[in-house]
A and B are shown apart, each in its own frame.
Chain A
């Protein structure tokens, strides 16, 4: 069974940093681009970032470019999202998702940015 399991969320102060993880199972991880999508409370879905299977290419939404870094460890079937200079607008439920067409999602991990 294909599964994605996020972790690493929590409460962080404005300006702080946090690293999210997403462990994959049930498929050949290295063959897939992996995405991060977030949803602020009561708001819509926002695509955040993606990384190619080989880590050769990464992509970001304008709202996080320069602050967030996506990476992966194919030996551990894990994709990471390193978030820095966090603000309240980054508070959200963060999902990892797998193509094609984001057909597979994890359960999400919650990030709260607050003093």
Chain B
């Protein structure tokens, strides 16, 4: 099975800061990587698919890069509404696997 190691587990940053979250796959997954945002009590929302394609309607301050085994999600200028837990997902093979999640808090 492919393991997804996500870091950091939590980050606290100020409004306007740049925040970067990383996911590392235990083996190559091409670009079959998605990023999700989940706010408390809400359904996960996909932000990025195919590692770098922004989901329609998602603000352009979110971006994704990477391929193979190293992937990053960047929030270029953190906003109060970005407080949430973020997950990566590899869907190149079964079982699909999520990262452990990164909690983003606003200072």
Q: How far is the CA of A107 from the CA of B42 in the complex (A)?
A: 8
A59 in complex: contacting residue of B38, B43, B95, CB < 8 Å: B95
Residue numbers in B under 8 Å from A35 (CB-CB): 96
Residue numbers in A under 8 Å from B95 (CB-CB): 47, 59-62
Taking CB as reference atom, which chain A residue is nearest B49?
Answer: A101
Q: How far is the CA of A50 from the CA of B96 in the complex (A)?
A: 9
A107 in complex: contacting residue of B43, B49, B89, CB < 8 Å: B43
Residue numbers in B under 8 Å from A100 (CB-CB): 49, 91
**Which residues of A, 29-52, contact B by the 8 Å Cβ criterion?**
35, 44-47, 50
A44 in complex: contacting residue of B49, B50, B98, CB < 8 Å: B98
The prevalent SS among residues of A at the interface is loop
B30 to chain A, nearest CB (A): 12
Taking CB as reference atom, which chain A residue is nearest B32?
Answer: A101
B102 to chain A, nearest CB (A): 10
A36 to chain B, nearest CB (A): 11
B54 to chain A, nearest CB (A): 12
Beta-carbon contacts of B52-79 to A below 8 Å, as 1s and 0s? 0001000000000000000000000000
Taking CB as reference atom, which chain A residue is nearest B51?
Answer: A101
In contact, A62 and B1 (Cβ under 8 angstroms): yes
Residue numbers in A under 8 Å from B34 (CB-CB): 101-103
**Which residues of A, 61-104, contact B by the 8 Å Cβ criterion?**
61-62, 95, 99-103
Residue numbers in B under 8 Å from A59 (CB-CB): 94-95
**Which residues of B, 75-92, contact A by the 8 Å Cβ criterion?**
85, 87, 89, 91
Residue numbers in A under 8 Å from B89 (CB-CB): 45, 47, 101-102
Taking CB as reference atom, which chain A residue is nearest B6?
Answer: A44
Q: B-contacting residues of A (Cβ < 8 Å)?
A: 35, 44-47, 50, 59-62, 95, 99-103, 105-108
